[in-house]
Amino acid sequence: MGTSRTGAAGAASRISVSRTGRSAPAPRTGLKKPLSVSPSLPLDQILLGDCIANLEKLPAESVDVVFADPPYNLQLEQALTRPDQSLVDAVDDDWDKFASFADYDAFTRAWLLGVRRVMKKNATLWVIGSYHNIFRVGAALQDLNFWLLNDIVWRKANPMPNFRGRRFTNAHETMIWASKSAEAKNYTFHYEALKSANEDVQMRSDWYLPLCTGEERLKGADGRKVHPTQKPEALLARVLLSSSNPGDVVLDPFFGTGTTGAVAKKLGRHFIGLERDSTYAKAARARIDAVEPLSDVSIAAPPEKRAEVRVPFLSLIEGGHVKAGETLVDERRRYSVTVRADGTLALGAIVGSIHKVGSLVQGLPACNGWTFWHVERQGQLVCIDEFRAKVRAEIAA
């Protein structure tokens, strides 16, 4: 959560920042600017000052994805203490204080309008918040014609307990993921990559991740944390891996201590950070300069199956990879069918596609025939999907 709102107080002092327990690697040169990026963009920079004023300086439709961690307006009425009467380092900074809900709503609409102007047509926006503010932000998003795609529940593995014992422990925060409008259909979403990384199961909208602690937590010379609400890099990594590509421009209008910038640099994305507090900005700059980007092969955008050339099973027959009259079997040789010249399969009197017949023999509502059916070659079973890959390669050559 940064401090870029109008009227936020500046830092009272300058501090020396280090990442405890970890030696910083030598900084590397910046990423190459992709051709689609406006030459006037302040790439990989932190713009100091009010976020709304700085948003007005950016070119229209110039960023690919936005991650916003605005003030939560926590409305703390008094100091928070533990049962042993020790003081909890809670968020009581001036930048999180608003005179009224109306003031907070006006601020929210102002920065959302600024963000909307600089988003490309198919860009998406992530906003994180707690029960104090996220519902107000969601209403503002809909009022301004953003199109809500998901709400993501970040379930914290190590939440702070409720010391007073008068409420449930606040063990989660909510992120809203939205496109610029309902007409924006071609936004980036790496569905297959997320599924592969999740044991081949669709990635769910509840993410179980720990808070930012240990080596990752930035601390000052006095040993105290630099920022009260520093977000974990794992959270930003999942956000950027799911909704951006290498070379994309990521905007964070509440930059804080630079988690978005650090993760963007590591993953081969460009960043633009807006931050009002000079102490936070200094800490962020030192942190990002120490980041070692991952290799190109580690961050390359994964191929999307939906974007691959569609190949009908008949093409395998026409290309000689599978012959009419051959027998297809499943991997365990429980079922066998005959390949017909028209690209369908015959199971006795039943004729249908590789998918339909595959589902029928198993008694299932659906089946991916490409991975289910195999053909014997030199005493070994070969999945017919391997032949489809060869046909795709021939088409692309």
Note the pLDDT tens digit of each residue in 40-55: 899 999 999 999 999 9
pLDDT of residue 24: 36
Greatest distance between any 2 Cα atoms in the chain: 83
pLDDT of residue 62: 97
pLDDT of residue 147: 97
CB of 243 closer than 8 Å to CB of 188? yes
Question: Which segments of the chain does DSSP mark as H helices, in order?
Answer: 51-55, 101-118, 134-143, 191-197, 233-243, 259-266, 278-289, 296-299, 313-318, 354-362, 369-372, 384-396
Instruction: Using alpha carbons, list the distances in angstroms from residue 252 to 4, 70, 336, 384.
Output: 10, 10, 56, 46
pLDDT of residue 65: 98
pLDDT of residue 178: 98
Low-confidence ranges of the chain (pLDDT < 50): 4-35, 76, 79-82, 86-91, 95
CB of 1 closer than 8 Å to CB of 130? no
CB of 44 closer than 8 Å to CB of 30? yes
pLDDT tens-digit map of 155-164:
998 887 876 7
pLDDT of residue 25: 36
Give the whole-angstrom CA distance, residue 380 versus residue 366. 26
pLDDT of residue 50: 94
pLDDT of residue 91: 47
pLDDT of residue 177: 98
Instruction: State if pTM tops 0.85.
Output: no
Residue 14 φ/ψ, nearest 5 degrees:
-100, 145
pLDDT of residue 3: 53
pLDDT of residue 37: 66
pLDDT of residue 85: 52
